[in-house]
Amino acid sequence: MALFSERLKELRKSRNITQKQISEYLDIAERNYRRYEISETDPTTQVSIKIADFYDVSLDYLVGRSDNPKRR
């Protein structure tokens, strides 16, 4: 899921948010979030939904099933 990790990093940087800030919002350890961005591990479904909600994008966009970040 390399595209997933790329999109996570791109979304975070485009909003000038640190890994610490997003990990606090997600209520996970910063090192776990860091592992998502380097494609070392994948988040749970619940965490993926929180990420999509935080950035106001669709899950399909996050996982690479769509290039359109907008939700329906």
**pLDDT beneath 70: ranges in the chain:** 1, 71-72
Which residues, including other chains, have CB under 8 Å from residue 63's CB and lie 6 or more apart? Answer: 1, 3, 4, 48
Report helix, strand or coil for 16: coil
Tell me the whole-structure pTM to 2 decimals. Answer: 0.87
Amino acid residing at 60: D
**pLDDT on residue 1:** 58
Q: What is the pLDDT of residue 27?
A: 95
Domain range for 55 = 2-62
pLDDT for the residue 72: 65
Q: Which residue has the tokens 């610490």?
A: 20
13 burial level (CB within 10 Å; 0-12, 13-18, 19+): exposed
Q: Is residue 12, in this structure, part of any structural domain at all? A: yes
CATH number of the domain encompassing residue 11: 1.10.260.40
17 backbone φψ class: left, alpha, beta (φ>0; ψ -120 to 50): beta
- In total, how many domains does the chain have? 1
Residue 67, in any domain of the structure: no
